[in-house]
Amino acid sequence: MAPAPVFPLLLVAAGWVLAMATADVASASSSAPAPTGWLRAHATFYGGADASGTMVDPTWCKPGVTVTVTATNFCPPNYGLPGDNGGWCNPPRPHFDMAQPAWEKIGVYRAGIIPVVYRRVPCVRRGGVRFMINGHDYFNLVLVSNVAMAGSIKSMEVKAGDDSTDCMPMARNWHSMAFLTGKMLSFRVTNTDGQTLELANVVPQGWKFGQTFASKLQFS
C-alpha cells in the first residue's frame, strides 16, 4: 500500500468558531458554513481501548485555541459501520485521530470527540531536504524527510554518478532496484504541489546503507 501524504494541518476547536459564526449554533450537527478557508471535521484521541465515555459536544472545546499537527497516515475506516453514525473514519467524513497531548490543547479530556475546523498550512522546516538510504544492493530504499511547504512527495527519480543517462524513476515507497551501492547519487524530487527540486550529487561516492545525507536545497 502506498504511504499516505504527509501534510500539516491547523486545527481549532469548533465550539469557538461556531460561536463566532452564529450565536444560535449549539451543536456539532449544524449545517452552518465554516469560516472562509476552513473545513469542518471532528477530532478525537482514544484514552481507552474501547473509547468508552466519548461524546460529541462543542461544550468541551477550548475557545480560541489552535494547534498545528502533521498528518502522517490515514484514519483507518471501518466499513462495517455507517459513515454518518459511528464510522468516524469512513469516507467522506473528515476525522482526525490525534495524539492526546496535541488534542488536549483544543479539547477537554472528558469529551473524547469534539467538532473542529481545519485547514492545510505550509510545513516549516529548517535546513535542506534529507535522504536516508536503507535496503541492500538491489533494493535501495530512500526515506525522504525534512520536507517543507507541501510536506509530501508526489514523485522521485535517481541518477547514479556522472552517468549521462536520464534519471531513473523510483517507486513508492521511494525505492530503486538498480545497483546503486556506493555510487554518487542525485535525486529529482517533486512534491504534491508540483514543485520540483534537482539535488545534484547529494549522496557522495562510497556511502553505506543506514546513512542520512542532508541537501542544501529546500521547497519554498
How large is the average pLDDT for residues 9-34? 39
What CATH number should be reported for the domain whose range is 130-214?
2.60.40.760
pLDDT reported for residue 141:
93
Cell triple for residue 114?
Answer: 469534539
In the chain, what are the domain boundaries?
Answer: 7-120, 130-214
- Using CA atoms, how far apart are residues 202 and 60, in angstroms rounded to an integer? 49
pLDDT-based confidence at residue 132 (cuts at 50, 70, 90): very high
User: Among 40-49, 112-121, 144-153, 162-171, which stretch is predicted with the lowest mean pLDDT?
Assistant: 40-49
- Phi then psi for residue 60, to 5 deg, are -95, 10
Q: Give the pairing type, strands 112-120 and 55-56.
A: parallel
> In this predicted model, which residue has the larger pLDDT, 201 or 7?
201
